[in-house]
Every structure is written in structure tokens, then in C-alpha cells.
Amino acid sequence: MLLQLGTEIYFQDPKRARKKALHRATLVELANGRAVVELLPGALRLSPGQELLVYYAITGQLMRQTVKVERVEQKEVKLYVTCRPVDDPVPAEDRECYRVSMLTADVEVSLGEERRLSLIDMSVTGFAVLAHEVHHLGMRLPASIGYEGKTYRGTVRVQSARPSGDQVRYGLRVLAATGKGENLEKGLQHITMRIQRAQLRRLSGHSA
């Protein structure tokens, strides 16, 4: 694990993955291919030999990895767990389609000539919006997303379209930048990373 001390790591028992329960820990030691993390006892039952999924952010990307618990030690009110990686880290997004809900996010979206559209969800490769204008599959359209005071612009391709009340729900894929000032690709990576980390914290019971 290419991590720095103090990195937040989220544990998940793969046997209970459907519950989406995550448990936050902090990396306190890293040596000889083994990591020692600190967490509060009781939230997650741990024992030597147990394999767990861990999630963490590195170089601006959310990663997932399997680790094996080697030692569990309690000191005062903290639990210290020594573990080693079982496999290499991989992006947490499954087939680049892991999407985060954006319904409650403070994001401003434009597509074509329409402004202030409702953003449904987003991944590192695209997003879905509700719009009134008619766009055909395969069409390329200018798009922008405003988030935390910064606007990201680029070109998208219509991947899917289906009626949703008096609007149309469009699935859009962001195309590689071809012109000056196009940074929508990087914007998606930044925004999804921020939202994913916030959701991980909420799932672990820490909203701060």
C-alpha cells in the first residue's frame, strides 16, 4: 500500500458487503509490507487470519484492496490491527461504472443550451441529468459542471435516453479533451472523489 501515516482507511467485511457498513481506521505504522491501523474497538469483530476489504484514497483516486489480519491488540481504548495486503490495489469503481448519487449535492450543470439541470448521478467517466431538450443517441454536446466555485467544461456523448415525466433522463459519457480549456474529465475525477470520500465517512458513522 503506497500510503502515508495518518491516512484514513475504511474496513469492510466482504461477507457483510451487502450491508455497506464501513469502519474508519487511521494508518499509524507501515513497515516491511505490513500496516498497523488504529480504530475504536467493538465496531468490527477482528481476528488473525481474517480477510477484509479496505478502501482509501491515493493520488486522487479511491482504491480498494484485500488485506489479511495478522495481529489484533488493544491498548487502553484503542484497537491496533496489523495486516498485510493479499492483492494489489484496484480502483474502487467497478468497470468504471461506480456511480455516486448527486441528487443532494450542490452542483450546477448545463447541457447544450440548457442550464441549471438536475444532476442524478456521476462516475469518473460520465453522468446522468434530467433535461427538456431532445438529444439523439450518439450526439456530441457541450456540457459544464459547476462545483465548489469552479466550473469544468468539456464535450459529452449521449449514451442513453429515456422519458422521465415531462423530461428526459440522459446518460452521458465525457469525451477526452480536444480543445483549450476543456477540463470536464478532470472535474469528474475531482468531484466523484470528494463525494465518495464524504459517503465513506457517512457509512462509517462519521459525518464530520
Q: Give residues with Cβ within 8 angstroms of 45, minimum separation 6.
A: none
Strands 61-75 and 23-31, bridge-based pairing: unpaired
Query: DSSP secondary-structure letter at 195?
Result: H
Q: How far apart are CA 157 and CA 75, in angstroms?
A: 55
pLDDT of res. 86: 87
Looking at domain 8-92, its CATH class is: mainly beta
pLDDT of res. 56: 86
Angular region, 32: left φ>0, alpha ψ -120 to 50, beta rest: left
Q: How far apart are CA 107 and CA 90, in angstroms?
A: 28
Kindly state the percentage of the chain with pLDDT values over 90: 35
Q: Highest mean pLDDT: which of 13-22, 95-104, 125-134?
A: 125-134
Average pLDDT taken over every residue of the chain: 83
Write down the domain spans for the chain: 8-92, 100-200
pLDDT of res. 100: 67
Same fold, 8-92 and 100-200: yes
Mean pLDDT of 190-206: 73
Least confident of 37-46, 49-58, 65-74: 37-46
Q: Highest mean pLDDT: which of 13-22, 94-103, 185-194?
A: 185-194
Q: What is the CATH number of domain 100-200?
A: 2.40.10.220
Model confidence at 95, in pLDDT bands (50, 70, 90)? very low
pLDDT of res. 20: 55
For residue range 127-167, what is the model confidence (pLDDT) as tens digits? Answer: 999 999 999 988 999 999 999 889 999 999 998 899 999 99
**Beta strand segments in 40-188, E:** 51-58, 61-75, 78-85, 90-91, 100-101, 107-111, 114-122, 126-131, 140-147, 150-164, 167-174
Secondary structure class of 28 (helix, strand, coil): strand
pLDDT of res. 1: 53
